[in-house]
Amino acid sequence: MSPTPAFDQRGAFVAELREYDPADPHEAMMRDRFVAFVENHPNAFERTLTVGHVTASTWIVDPSRARALLTHHRKLRRWMQLGGHVDGDVDVRRAALREACEESGLRSLRFASDAIYDVDVHAIPARGAEPAHDHYDVRFALEADPAEPLLMSSESNDLAWVPFESLARYGVDESVLRLARKTASLGG
């Protein structure tokens, strides 16, 4: 059996996005925008696409589902979930897991659910020669052992296991609060 061609993986991803059940009308609008973007841009997974590109991130929770691992992003200067560019990898789950491992050093990571957990489209400001663009972020829920040592990457100022009731004090944006609200759907 030969490996699935990238075109088929892309088509399967679009089909999965179409089937994804958004949490609210705003997320539904972002899902529809995400589908159209991937359908209209064969190079949607490459960061060289200057209007925007697909990214993959993770909502990492502890086994009790009471805390999430957040990073204080060095460039964006805010607390958020871990993730980043897929760099051409159409297997967005693999890219999300790779980013989570690279940014946290955690090896106990496992998917809390196989399904897409969240989708988000957000603007990234211009920086130097890089123009402003959009990130089409697909998000997956992972679980990890909070006792495992963290290893911060150069992309972060800090990493922290944040109790859900403290998220507002960390100044997280609405999309991170949406991730937290969905946590009950993961079970425990």
pLDDT at 160: 97
5 compared with 179, residue with greater pLDDT = 179
Axis-axis angle for helices 25-40, 6-19 (nearest 10) = 160
* In a domain? residue 186: no
pLDDT digits (tens, 9 = 90+) for 109-160: 999 999 999 999 999 999 899 899 999 999 999 999 999 999 988 888 999 9
pLDDT digits (tens, 9 = 90+) for 74-84: 888 899 999 99
Judge contact between 58 and 154, C-beta under 8 A: no
Instruction: Residue 166: give its domain's CATH number.
Output: 3.90.79.10
Range of the domain at 52: 6-181
pLDDT at 6: 45
- For the full predicted model, state whether its pTM sits above 0.85: yes
Across-strand partners of 142? 60, 111
* In a domain? residue 188: no
pLDDT at 25: 97
- For the chain, give the mean pLDDT: 93
Counting the structural domains of the chain, the total is 1
Q: Answer yes or no: is pLDDT of 7 > 80.
A: no
Q: Answer yes or no: is pLDDT of 3 > 70.
A: no
DSSP per position, 69-114: EEEEETTTTEEE-EEEE-TT-S-HHHHHHHHHHHHH--S--EES-S
* In a domain? residue 187: no
Which of these, 76, 47, 91, 89, lies nearest to 155 by C-alpha position? 76
* In a domain? residue 1: no
pLDDT at 45: 98
Q: Answer yes or no: is pLDDT of 184 > 90.
A: no
